[in-house]
Structures are given as structure tokens and as C-alpha cells.
A = this chain, B = another copy of it.
Amino acid sequence: MSHTAVLFGKEFREKYFTRLDENVVPVNHGSYGLTPTPIHEKFLEAIDRDNSFTDRYMRFELTRDYIELLKALASFVNTDYRNLALVDNATTAVNTVLRSYPFLKGDKIVVISTGYESCVNVVKFLHKRQGIEIVPIDIQYPIDDDDIIAKYRDTFQKHRPKMALFDTVTSLPGVRFPFERLLHLCREFQVLSLVDGAHSVGLIDIDLDSLQPDFYTSNLHKWLYVPRGCAVLYITPKLQSKVHTMPISHSYMDEAQEAQLDEDAIRHRLIDKFDFLGSKTYAQISCIIPAIDFRKSIGGEKAIHDYCYNLCRKVAEMVTQDIWPGTKVLENSTQTLVTSMVNIEVPIAKFAADVGGKNLDITNAKEVRRCIDAIQYKMATEDKIYLQLFVHGHFYCRFSCQIYNHLDEYAVSCKLLEKAFHHYFKTQSLRPLQ
């Protein structure tokens, strides 16, 4: 089917991503994803099926559908379907584990400075409510994977933590984290692993039975093209009884009650717990099989990943050489950081000098927040583009590359960002709507 792969880019978008406003420059797939129209149509069909006779759908069809699609998804990520559950998003999955696992006061959880704010906040909440101790690891890029692993080894030796929460690919910066090697290290030190793979399924290869995490989640609405909100939660069999749904629902049993069940029921318990979590729409989960099928039909995972990764590398080359010469891509010595997202330095000092403005003090978090808010608001409302901007040692823009993108869009993006910065440095009086 690889014949279609050549079509990725502009024409592909016009054919398959028709729901997007055609004037939008969509170079930020990483934040919310984007669903191809044929998959969205399955979403609408599921809503119609539900609404035509909701009692029957909820009571007799949902679980049957749920098991069927879990099997397809399990095959996609290589594990037994009875190790999987579906939840709204990766943040919910991380909360589900952390807010029900029976920690003891004083248990230590390792988090990283570049971790997703919402997920790190759950650990802060546990610190306040249950006396969990937070062990932070500071990550400053560019850093080599070996150095990250060394930091973890030191930390594990020193603190003997109960659990480590880390990413597959962090959000800001949007870089690959050496999660495969860390999973080995966790097993070596008997540290429970909780992998925030918000950016993983559809972005990078995931083979759960090889990886052997204790807990793992991935959004399916980002890189797999399922409508929001849809994420998978994997729990290794021996820990499944220790995690309860969020919300706690009809299916709740405590660990002692679960242990009374017969072997088959225990093995099926994760499904029985998570298949219905209260009245809401479940239409998006009906899009998992269509999404997997769509991806196969357009060339498969390798073709998709290759196009996106190669486009990222081309964007990086174009921007750092031709558009903003002298800037750098965020990358380490072994070139492991770039996926379908690439972080490129923004030459804000030059932009300020261009218009005789005062440069931004990137050590002043409040000033940085104000600047980014203003730029993002202006660009979103006037230019129909949204760029992820952040400071990590330098001022960066994170670009996402997808099968509907083409190189010219990133040149346009840079020019619009430059224009917005010129305006900002000239006025420094813009305020966002909120």
C-alpha cells in the first residue's frame, strides 16, 4: 500500500483532513491531534447509534464493542487485551494509577523537571494528602541518554524510591526520553514504573510485552488520529487489583473481594472494572479500529513515521540554515531527541534588535509567560496559527510534523512568528484575551 505514501502533504490534507479551517497553518499536531475525516465520520455514526436507542447501546453493545476494539489495540501495541483499559486521556490515566495505588506514607516517587505539569501535580497532591515524598530529577537539554540514565541510577541508589514517573516523549521540550532503558533500570532496582506516554502510540513504536512497564499510558487522540478524549492505560497483571477506576464506579471491589473471584474473572477484571465509567459519550472509542485501519490503508506505521521524521529533519535544516541562520535544533550527541516534533531556537534577541526593542529576559518566568501569551493570542486570532513556544535555556519553538504537512508551512510559520515578535518588541503592550 506504500504507493499512497507519496501523497502525504498538501494534497493529502485536502483529501483527508477536510474539517480543518483551510486558512489554518496546522504545525502543532502534538497538542491536540487532528482526526482524518473518514475517522470522524465513524465518530458521528457511533453517536447516532447511541442516540437511536441509548439503553440498548449502553447496556448491551458497549462492552461487546469495548472488548473487540481492545483486542485490535492490544495487537497494535503487542500485549494481552486484558492488560488494557480505556480512559479520557493520559493525564486521567496517570491520575487513575496514582490516586488509587495503595501507597504508604513516606513512599518516594521520582519525577522529572521536564515532566508534564498535570502529572507532576498529582504527585504534589499525594505529597500533601498522603505524605508521599517527591524525588525530583533535573533534566537540562541537550543531554545525552547515558547521562539521564546515570542520574536515575544515582537517584535510585540513594533514595530507593517506590515508583518513577517518566515520559516516552516529553511535551515541552518535545523530545524523546530514554524510557526503554529506564524501564530496565526500574526492574533492576525494583522501582515501579509509571510511563506517561501521552506522546507515543502512533508516534513511536510501542511493544508493551517487550517493554514490560508496570503502568503505561498513551493518548490515542494525538498521534493515532482518534477523536479526543481517548487514551489507553496498561497495567501489568500482578498490579491490576491495586488500581481502581476514576471515578470509582459500579464495578468497584476492594482487593480482598477481587481475590475471591475465580481465575478467569480475575484475569478479566480490568475490563469489567473499566468498560463503563459513568454516563458520558463513548463514541470516540469506536474510532480506534477505524484509525488503525486508516493508517494501514495509507501505508502503515513505518511510512507515516518516516514521512513525519524526515519532514522534521528538513524543517530543522531549512530553519537553522536559511530562515534563522545561526540558531540550533535541540538535539544531543547521539541524535535521539527528535521524533515527529522538533524544537528550534527562536532568535528573539535579533528580533528585538531589528525593531530597536528591549529583549526578553528569559530568566523572568512572569515576563516570559506574558510574552508567549501575547504572541500566541495575536497569531491565533490574526494569523490562524498556534505555535508552542517555551524557554529551556534558550527560547524555543516546538514544531510538529504530520502526514498533512509540507515544508513550506514551516517557512510561513517562522515568518509569521518573526512578524509577531517584531510587533511585540515594538509595543510590548499586547495582552491576551485571558
Interface residue ranges, A against B (CB under 8 Å): 19-21, 24, 28, 31-32, 34-35, 40, 44, 48, 51-56, 58-60, 63-64, 88-89, 91-92, 94-96, 99-100, 102, 117-118, 121-122, 124-125, 128-129, 219, 221-222, 227-229, 244, 246-250, 252, 254-255, 278-281, 284, 376-377, 380-381, 384, 386, 432-434
Contacts and interface: CB of A to CB of B under 8 A. Distances in A.
B249 A91 contact: yes
A21 B52 CA distance: 5
B51 A279 contact: no
Contacts of A377: 60
B56 A250 contact: no
Nearest to A99: B99
A372 to B, nearest CB: 11
Contacts of A52: 19-21, 24
A95 B246 contact: yes
A381 B35 CA distance: 33
B249 A60 contact: no
Contacts of A24: 52-53
A281 B283 CA distance: 11
Nearest to A40: B51
Given A102-B129, A244-B125, A433-B60, A53 B280 contact: no
Contact of A229 (B60, B254, B278): B278
A129 B99 CA distance: 10
A28 B55 CA distance: 8
Contacts of A280: 88-89, 228-229
B281 A51 contact: no
B51 A122 contact: no
A242 B52 CA distance: 41
A279 B246 CA distance: 16
Contact of A55 (B44, B386, B434): B386
Nearest to A229: B280
A28 B57 CA distance: 14
B386 A279 contact: no
A35 B50 CA distance: 12
B248 A121 contact: yes
Most B CB atoms within 10 A — which of A31, A32, A279? A279
